[in-house]
Structure 1
């Protein structure tokens, strides 16, 4: 079966312009407005810097807490109907972040910033891809750390629930996250 061709930027703008001139079918929503271009960043985040310097410069809390304090995994799971609808695509995943290849500290910092900006933008459901880990029979560092991060004070005000994603969205290597209303 032939793969569908993705629209380039010009074709996508043209399609959105045409789509705005039509009326949606009953029960259907209009396509989303074209997002405004992001303002240029004053400086780019250099991931090659040392982790301790990166975290201390940003003023973010250090993710490495003693494992004794993090032993209890939170049970704030998504409701079964919400999880099922996310898995089947009836509730839209509004944004996603892929943490593959990042160290634990950098991934923690990136996830916290991502969830803050997503909540500020009014998003409710996002996908966090942690990866399953490279070795057979064990889970990855980020996948194991994710539930513990969500239990920390920095994340509790942002996240109302999470659960493992369906296979089509990354399975054991990804999580659905429901953000609190802001």
Structure 2
């Protein structure tokens, strides 16, 4: 069983009683023994207030599921630069003049792919470094429907063809052309040196 500590009122009462009483043996103690005062209670400092926790408060937002595929210009801009950085900036600003040009306006896919392959491989064989491939921006479709249709079939297909063999070994960089050379309807194709 633990001993109960005295309160301050009880200690004061005890001291009054001790002062009024007479000692039985007056010389044994010079001062009356007082019971010890209780220890002061520790002062509780208020704890720092934390923000309330919510599940998922730091989670990244989920991507929107109905987003369409990024545009060709955006996906080509995300590609790493494989050529000289200074030449790339000059090319993007239209400061470098293309050494050859292929115009695919009005062509169908079955005729455009072989024409592009012939043009790129012959340009590389002749030592050209920068060529321009004009695809056009494409026509707006009259038939709106539930499935989005990309505008300009050749504009979407040419970068894909340039990334596949046999053209992939010849092409170093593909980027949309400057407005002075056709803008969104044309591509700069920077070729590797022929070995």
TM-score bucket of the superposed structures, by smaller chain: 0.5 to 0.7
Q: Quickly say closer, same or farther: Cα 1:111–1:155, change in 2 above 3 A.
A: same
* Counterpart residue number, 1:51: none
Return the offset for 1:125: 0.2
* Counterpart residue number, 2:178: 166
> Which portions of structure 1, spanning 4 or more consecutive aligned residues, are displaced by more than 4 angstroms?
76-80
Higher percent of residues as helix: 1
**Residues of 2 paired with 1:176 and 1:78: CA distance?**
14
CA RMSD of aligned residues (A): 2.3
Which of 141, 165, 176 aligns to 1:153? It is 165
Q: Residues 84-140 of structure 1: CA distance to partner in whole angstroms, max 9, x if unpaired?
A: 312445422101110000001211100100011100110000000001101179420
Which of 113, 117, 129 aligns to 1:108? It is 113
TM-score (norm 2): 0.51
Structure 2, unmatched stretches of 5+, are: 1-74, 142-148
Summarize the alignment of residues 6-155 of structure 1 with structure 2, pairs less than 5 Å apart. Answer: 75=79, 81-135=86-140, 138-155=150-167
Matched residue of 1:134: which SS?
A: coil
* Counterpart residue number, 1:67: none
Larger radius of gyration: 2
